[in-house]
Amino acid sequence: MKPDQELDERRIVPRYPLPKEQLKFQFDEGERVFGVRDLSVAGVGITLLEVGELLLFPIGMHCKATLKLGGDLFHIEMVVRRTHAWSVGLEFVNPNAAL
């Protein structure tokens, strides 16, 4: 069994790919926009464009961002739960607050 298959089988909630949506983060150096890799009711995955961007997202870091979804903006709070060379997985802290 491939590692990706194992992860999908352990997944509690389904995730949906959203290649055109974006998340905007505010860092000390300024704003950074990342593409949304996938979205679920529990969190969101983002795609990194540069190798060094992984350093912006240490596991356990709490952050706030603006999610642009279908033309609407949602202000959300998240915590970094997973990192990979070109992606980051974030869990929503209080998803109902964005609604």
pLDDT digits (tens, 9 = 90+) for 48-61: 988 899 999 999 99
Consecutive H or E run containing 8: helix 3-10
Query: How many Å apart are CA 95 and CA 76, to the nearest integer?
Result: 7
pLDDT of 5 above 80: no
pLDDT digits (tens, 9 = 90+) for 54-90: 999 999 999 999 998 878 899 999 999 999 989 999 9
Give Cα 34 distance to the centre of its chain: 9
Q: Which burial class, exposed, middle or buried, applies to 86 when counting CB atoms under 10 A from its CB (0-12, 13-18, 19+)?
A: middle
The pTM of the full predicted model, rounded to 2 decimals, is: 0.77
What pLDDT is attached to residue 16? 60
- Helix and strand counts by DSSP (H, E) for the chain: 1, 7
